[in-house]
Amino acid sequence: MIGRVVKALGDCAIVSVHCHDDLGLAVANSLAAIEAGARQVECTVNGIGERAGNCSLEEIVMILKMRTDAYPYHTGIHTEHLYSASETLSSIITFGPQPNKAIVGRNAFAHEAGIHQDGYLKEKTTYEIIDPRIVGIPEGKLVLGKHSGRHAINQRAQNMGYSLTKQELDDLYHRFCAVADHRKKGLMDEEIVSLIHEGQKTMKVAAD
């Protein structure tokens, strides 16, 4: 239908598309409309809107930015402000996007599973197609929880200034797992520091 309208109008008007997300296809349908010749997409920050919402601005913008091979179009949007725009809207309407929301959800650049964290630490693009800084997020984050592995825990310790021996890392890992297994959320940095100090004290007493 969009293609027929575009063909009928020629150059006398810009065809706009306005999609709702009732079946989770607002972004996909908007992309199809662009391919058919539409040159304006009506969309909203965080996909906010009636019923299931509208086409998500941040998703459509980043698709067009990251996949220029398939969609050679320019939006003029300053993508580094996408996250702050999302946060601003959330503060105004008193609720934010779901945690697993693409681009701006709090889990969009968070990694908790051990295999994810190991791959992320070795090569970030393994699990992140987008550099979070492009959308205004400083960097991806490792959520240290019950699914985390030694590599991620050791990396966090190093980031906080601790160079652990293999024995110290093993001790920290076992202490960490004992606490994390009973948590729904990950451990804070200060809690990890406390576990490191506990382990060092225990080892010192054992050595004496």
Domain count, the chain: 2
Compute the distance between CA of residue 95 and CA of residue 89 in angstroms, rounded to an integer. Answer: 8
Compute the distance between CA of residue 169 and CA of residue 185 in angstroms, rounded to an integer. Answer: 21
CB 90 within 8 A of CB 58: no
The pLDDT tens digits of the residues spanning 148-192 come to 788 888 887 887 778 889 999 899 888 888 887 776 567 766 788
Q: Backbone phi, then psi, for 206, in 5-degree steps?
A: -65, -40
Q: Is residue 39 part of a domain?
A: yes
pTM of the model: 0.68
Q: Is residue 61 part of a domain?
A: yes
Q: Is residue 28 part of a domain?
A: yes
CB 130 within 8 A of CB 67: no
Residues 6+ apart with CB under 8 A from 39: 14, 15, 16
Q: Is residue 156 part of a domain?
A: yes
Nearest to 130 by CA among 43, 67, 41: 67
Give, to the nearest 10 degrees, the angle between helix 57-66 and helix 82-93: 170
The pLDDT, as a whole number, for residue 26 is: 97
Q: Is residue 183 part of a domain?
A: yes
Host domain of residue 166: 150-207
The pLDDT, as a whole number, for residue 48 is: 95
Q: Is residue 46 part of a domain?
A: yes
The pLDDT, as a whole number, for residue 55 is: 97
Compute the distance between CA of residue 56 and CA of residue 41 in angstroms, rounded to an integer. Answer: 10
Would you tell me how many other CB atoms lie within 10 Å of the CB of residue 126? Answer: 14
Q: Is residue 47 part of a domain?
A: yes
The pLDDT, as a whole number, for residue 47 is: 95
Q: Is residue 108 part of a domain?
A: no
- Residue where a domain stops, chosen among 46, 77, 108: 77
Task: Compute CA 182 distance to the chain's CA centroid, rounded to the nearest angstrom.
Answer: 25
Task: Please tell me what DSSP assigns to residue 72.
Answer: -
- Residue where a domain stops, chosen among 51, 77, 103: 77
The pLDDT, as a whole number, for residue 23 is: 96
- Residue where a domain stops, chosen among 77, 101, 124: 77
Compute the distance between CA of residue 155 and CA of residue 144 in angstroms, rounded to an integer. Answer: 11
Identify the segments of the chain with pLDDT beneath 70: 110-112, 114, 138-143, 183-185, 188-189, 208
